[in-house]
Amino acid sequence: MKAVGVIVEYNPFHNGHAFHVQAARETSNADIVIAVMSGNFLQRGEPALVSKWYRTKMALSGGVDLVFELPYQFATQNAEFFADGAISILDAVHCESFCFGSESGDISSFLKTIDFLEEHQEIFDENVRRHIKSGVSYPKALSLSFQDFTDTEGLLNLTKPNNILGFQYIKSIKKVNSKIKPLTIARKNANYHDEHFASETIASATSIRKALFSTDDRTFTIDQYVPEPTTELLKEYYNHYRGFHQWENYWSYLQFRLIQCTPEELRNIYEVEEGIENRLKAAALTAGSFQEFMEKIKTKRYTWTRLQRICVHILTNAVKEEMSKPEGANYLRLLGMTQKGKTYLNKVKSELKLPLVSKLSSYKQKEIMLDIKAAQIYSFGIPLDLRNEFIQQEYKQIPIIVK
């Protein structure tokens, strides 16, 4: 059986994702689709709208055959380390190919750009350092450094978010000398950060979440943009847990952490650098909401996304030592599968490159503790009477099987 991999967040799963899954299967001529999916906290430094278990159900209902969790250690990182973790998992489960959406839609432009920058690495790195010294953020410095080159015909536009991620995916494939074949498809209609609906059937996850939080009826405005199972699962989650997750749910806990911690303690948190802990503490004393807090601490040097990731790490007390950057994941946390996915897994189980974790209580290695802690903190976004049930699911839930 041939497997194609996808790297996803599904926050939530929508029609664009369904198109991607089908296109990945057809473009690669694969028998099954394997998704590496972020857990309860995401790459942009946000809590997921609904839990990873519900997003797994959405994925399996939408055409994915196997879902593995991307560990917190990678899921809440910048594009480079996010890619390293996800690609290491796809490589470990023997995906023959990997398909990602991009603004480019042309894999040759990615490969040409990788070769071009390898050839001009010293000049590129020097340009990056120069732009960072000017006070811009690291992602902006990367983009500006690439634009400094004049002979870029046929190369990738590295100002676009999905092109940047795809570029890092292919770099990660080369880094681990994987045999995975990279494939890309053009994103349809909606851009990654679009906050408004751009077509009749395709919308960004950002615009869908905005619609969900801006109306009392939590689903009717998005029905045309998501598959029916997504609608039903969102309704079920909202009715059971009495709400969805967003940063404002966690603001009081973050505020307490910031005020209670000493500057020295905050400096030990991953990504807290250059004295920003003092700015964070000062803003926490006067901000009345997470949105207001973010507006107070935003600077030219720090992107909104990076600041949110710092806030996630403070919330979960993820210290620099435990967030050290290994080359790849250390385990395969299986969240769900179809019958076809189960058949594939049985065929390759003896050849997996990493230990398979199908039930948390059976895996005792310390590297999974970050995921456990993240799930516990995530549960603070739901009512108190439901938290114990939520946490117990983290330990007892066996992989979801969709027939």
Binding residues for ATP: 7-20, 101, 162, 187
CB-side neighbour CA atoms (13 Å) of 329: 32
- The whole-angstrom distance between residue 21's C-alpha and the CA centroid of its chain comes to 17
Instruction: With both helix axes pointing from N to C terminus, report the angle between 304-316 and 276-286 in degrees, rounded to the nearest 10.
Output: 80
Binding residue numbers? 7-20, 101, 162, 187
Is residue 274 left, alpha or beta, with left meaning phi > 0 and alpha meaning psi from -120 to 50? left
* DSSP element (H, E) containing 57: helix 52-61
Nearest residue to 105 (alpha-carbon basis) of 203, 12, 20: 20
Contacts of 362 (CB under 8 A, 6+ apart): none
**Which pair of structure tokens corresponds to residue 337?**
């599968």
- The whole-angstrom distance between residue 387's C-alpha and the CA centroid of its chain comes to 24
φ, ψ for residue 222, nearest 5 deg: -115, 0
Residue 288, exposed/middle/buried by CB under 10 A (0-12, 13-18, 19+)? exposed
Please write down the HEC assignment for all residues of 147-183.
Answer: HCCCCCCCCCCCCCHHHHHHHHHHHHHHHCCCCCEEE
Q: What is the DSSP letter of 103?
A: S
Is residue 313 a contact partner of residue 302, using CB atoms and an 8 Å limit? no
* DSSP element (H, E) containing 118: helix 107-119
Q: What is the DSSP letter of 217?
A: S
What's the one-letter identity of residue 5? G
Instruction: Determine the number of helices (DSSP H) and then strands (DSSP E) in the chain.
Output: 18, 8
Q: What is the DSSP letter of 387?
A: H
Is residue 201 a contact partner of residue 225, using CB atoms and an 8 Å limit? yes
> In this structure, is the dihedral angle defined by the CA atoms of residues 136, 304, 312 and 39, taken in order, positive or negative?
negative
Is residue 100 a contact partner of residue 79, using CB atoms and an 8 Å limit? no
CA distance 305 to 301: 12
